[in-house]
Amino acid sequence: MALGPFLLLATLEGLVSAAVLALTAVGLSLVFGVMRVVNVAHGEFFMLGAVVGWAVASLIPEAPALGFLAALAVSPLVAALVAIAVDRAILRRLDYTPEAVIVATIGVGYILQQGALSLYGPEARTVAAPFSFRVQFPWFGYSGYKLGVIAAAALVLAGVWALLARTRIGLVMRATQWDRETATAFGIDTDRIYALVFGLGAGLAAVAAVLVVPISQAHYLMGGDPLLLSFAVVIIGGLGSLRGTVVAALLIGLTDGIAGVFFAPTLGKILATLLVALVLVFRPQGLFGRRTA
Amino acid sequence: MTVRTRVWALHLAVLAALALAPLVLPPYHVTNLARIMVLAVFAMGYNIAFGYTGLLSLGHALLLAAGMYATGLLVTLAGWTAGPALIAGLAAGAGIALLVGLLALRTTGAAFMIVTLMFAQAGYLAVLYFGDLTRGDEGFNLARDARALFGLDLVADTTRYGAALALFAAGLLGCLVLVRSRTGRVLVAVRENAERTRMLGYDPFRARLLALTLSGLYAGGAGAAYALLFGYVGGTFAGVQYSVLPLLWVLLGGAGTVLGPLVGTLVMFYLVDIAGSFTDATLLVVGAALILLVLFARAGLLGTLRDRWLPWLP
């Protein structure tokens, strides 16, 4: 294959990972933006979404498309409910102290991992894609489902944006993010908003996971990479900035896709990880964020 | 008794008890105890950074692995003897900690945790990337005859226990002297209120850098000793779990207490050991312990003891 088509293929692959990454990272970013806490269990909520998605889809083996749609509907709900329970039972009692929340969510992550290992097992399993046509380019054919993932992610992201910018509940969320005390003084139940945001964040990770399961596989250890990549996206995009998060996800997803074609994947990951750490050291407001303090 | 005598008496008594333990314990527990003492040195190092100076790092596996791989690779590939390799391990831990500190200490709080986590992740990936040398996750064993220090065979149970105890004693007494010194008080002051400490004329950055470097020295020593005493070097020790474990041990034993890391490591080791005989769900035990500690007992075992009954405990 000549370089041009090769690059097109790499770009498409990059766009797919960028789409999934954007969904996952927006969930993390939302939680950080509104609640000012870092959720280390975010990767495990992603894993939970994939595993529950597999479980739901395997209930309807005769109709793969229906099974997939059911997984897409149920799995984010389950992840959101688990997250809300975690918020109510643990995070609220910690009064959202940033460091205590990090330690507690590490614990939550271990418990989710163990739960998946004990109930779902150590195997990696996949879910059949709801449709499987190929888009024929002059040089190669490309999975229609992957293009569908990009479209679905864009749709969900637009939905999140509309929710935040155009609805009353979004306004209330932004008010809570801006100033929790004043929001409380105006009669907003910020405890409920926190629970809602934490659930929404986990739900978004679960949507991303269900979308990705037909491409890769569900496995109880799959949460590590999405977590680190989401951290990277949220940091580079500027902590708590939604637009920055999406731009950074595109940047990192595309780089990942294209660099993956040319470099050894591990070396690429090492350099990317160090780069992100250095961004956080020297530009803590992110590449696109504004300095607030 | 003055506080000073009481403190020294307590810590020397603990060391004496550890020295006598092999005489009464069955061999299985003696090996466990040797392992616990080495890991407790790692935890003591973590405690200097986290417990006394307030630096919550999520990347200490990098420092443990630095010592472990420096020693292990020099012995295996370059044919070094155990003594110089041990010193190289200590230096690697402290040196990497110094480098990480120079960069990561520009940040604080959650950002510091994420930066240290990312550095450690890069370290873990580097172990995998140089798989030809490190054999990745699988790891490698040290040759039996290389594991001897000053003519003492570190493979035999008795000498191995003695070596672990010597390292632990050095670490414990060093920590005790540090936290009771002027420098130690500055570290605690930085933890309690960095701005006020700066106003009093101390440089919080330098204090934190010192704490992190000492912490790396301990972690490197523990890693090097683990490689020499137990003959195994592997990628697991560079993984994120070994960044979380010292945090857990220190929280459990009591952050900011000299004996806390030993107590935490000991209790957690046997908790997982006992749980392991009932269920395979050891991650559940670790996770639940973290959550319960942070919810209900943030001072840990010895911290609670100090708050209630023993205010003189260092």
Compute and round to an integer the Cα radius of gyration of chain A.
19
pLDDT averaged over every residue in chain B: 86
Q: Would you call A104 and B294 a contact, using CB atoms and an 8 Å cutoff? A: yes
Tell me whether residues A267 and B129 touch, CB distance under 8 A. Answer: yes
- What local confidence, expressed as pLDDT, does residue A240 receive? 61
| Cα of A272 vs its chain's centroid, Å | 18
Rounded CA-CA distance A273/B102 in Å is 18
User: Residue B140's beta-bridge partner residues?
Assistant: B233
pTM of the model: 0.84
Per-residue pLDDT for A239 more than 70? no
The percent of residues in chain A predicted with pLDDT above 90, rounded, is: 28
Average pLDDT over residues A193-218: 92
Classify residue A62 as exposed, middle or buried by CB count within 10 Å of its CB (0-12, 13-18, 19+): exposed
DSSP state of B143: P
- Candidates A206, A246, A237, A227; CA nearest to A49 is A206
Sequence-distant (6+) residues with CB within 8 A of A34 are A173, A176, A177, A193, A194, A197
pLDDT tens digits for B213-242? Answer: 999 999 999 999 999 888 888 888 888 889
Which tens digits make up the pLDDT trace of A67-109?
A: 888 889 999 999 999 999 999 999 999 888 887 888 899 899 9
Candidates B58, B248, B284: best to mutate against A (most CBs of A within 10 A) is B284
Residue A281: its chain B contacts at CB < 8 A?
103-104, 106-107, 115
pLDDT at A293: 35
pLDDT in tens, B192-217: 888 888 888 888 899 999 999 999 99
Model confidence band, residue B92 (pLDDT cutoffs 50, 70, 90): very high
Identify the residue among B56, B114, B285 best suited for mutation to test binding to A, counting A beta carbons within 10 A and taking the highest: B114
From CA B301, how far away is CA B252, in angstroms rounded?
Answer: 6
Among B107, B121, B244, the residue with its CB nearest the CB of A281 is B107
Taking the CA atoms of B42, B48, B51 and B55 in sequence, report the sign of the dihedral they define. Answer: negative
pLDDT above 70: percentage of residues in chain A: 94
Q: How many CB pairs under 8 A join A and B?
A: 110
Question: Would you state the pLDDT for residue B39?
Answer: 94
Secondary structure class of B148 (helix, strand, coil): strand
Average pLDDT value for residue range A272-284: 80
| Cα–Cα distance measured from residue A40 to residue A121, given in angstroms and rounded to the nearest whole number | 23
Spatial separation of the C-alpha atoms in residues A38 and A50, rounded to whole Å: 22
Q: Tell me the pLDDT tens digit for each residue of A142-192.
A: 888 888 899 999 999 999 999 988 888 888 888 888 888 888 888 888 889
CA angle B63, B57, B292 (to 5 degrees): 120
More confident residue, B119 or A257: B119
Contact B294 A100 (CB under 8 A): yes
Average pLDDT, integer, range B54-63: 91
- Pick from B56, B122, B291: which is nearest to A108 by CB? B291
A256: its two tokens: 């990942």
Kindly compute the dihedral angle of the four CA atoms of residues B259, B233, B49, B100, in this order, to the nearest 10 degrees.
170
pLDDT digits (tens, 9 = 90+) for A117-136: 888 888 888 887 777 778 77
Give the pLDDT confidence score for residue A261 in this predicted structure.
67
Cβ(B260)–Cβ(B87) under 8 Å? Answer: no
Report CB contact under 8 Å: A282, B106.
Answer: yes
Please, are residues B64 and B192 in contact by the beta-carbon 8 Å criterion?
no
Best interface-test mutation with B: which of A95, A96, A102, A105 has the largest number of B CBs within 10 A?
A: A102
Q: What is the pLDDT of residue A292?
A: 45
pLDDT band at B170; cut points 50, 70, 90: very high
Of B111, B251, B281, the CB nearest to A284: B111
Q: Which residue has the higher pLDDT, A262 or B130?
A: B130
Nearest by CB to residue B119, choosing from A224, A231, A277, is A277
Task: Report pLDDT for A286.
Answer: 67
Strands (DSSP E) found in chain B: 140-141, 148-149, 152-153, 232-233
Residues of A in Cβ contact (< 8 Å) with B291: 90, 104, 107-108, 111
In chain B, the residue whose alpha carbon lies closest to the alpha carbon of A267 is B129
| Mean pLDDT, rounded, for A272-282 | 81
